[in-house]
Amino acid sequence: MQASAIAPLRLVFLMWLIFTIEYFLHLDLGFLGIYPLNLRGAVGILTAPMIHGNFNHLLSNTVPLLALGGTLYFFYPSVASRVFLQSYFFTNILVWVFGRPFYHIGASGVVYALASFLVLYGFFHRNFKTVIISLIVVVVYGGLVFGVLPINQSISWESHLMGALVGGVSAYLLSRTKN
């Protein structure tokens, strides 16, 4: 189980390190978020998941990243790194292309991609283990489905939606891979 948590732990470590630096040096690194269709905003494709607006935002991404990322690496080690990287990069690229014109920050797009992958992989793969994992993720994180709706304009629902799409497509494409 320790090895399964390394990649998500690294991301969470960077998130907390950057937030701590921002806090103690009184910096605002929000400009490192994704600003759609702007060349300078493209830096956010790499940096946005590590930037958080406040402590609650950081914490609300930390717990699911560790839980969902750990689940991904523990139960699906043969596809985990590929899914994690796709969740990170493809989600952010899609937000850069389709997002509203403001800075999109935080790792929730990655969270949505991981949750979507874990739920839909069980549906597409259709064996007992994957279905049970899917059901557990639905029970624990089923409320995430409301985050893809444009209810709160100050939240990047685009990141949530693009993450869910990336996770779903990844689940579909990798559903025939043995684990």
pLDDT for 12-63, tens place per residue?
999 999 999 999 999 999 999 999 999 999 999 999 999 999 999 999 999 9
The 10s digit of each residue's pLDDT in 66-84 is 999 999 999 999 999 999 9
Report the C-alpha gap between 81 and 42 in whole angstroms. Answer: 23
- Percent share of the chain, pLDDT over 90: 78
Predicted TM-score (pTM) of the model is 0.93
**Domains of the chain by start residue, with CATH:** 3-174 (1.20.1540.10)
Higher per-residue confidence, 45 vs 155 = 45
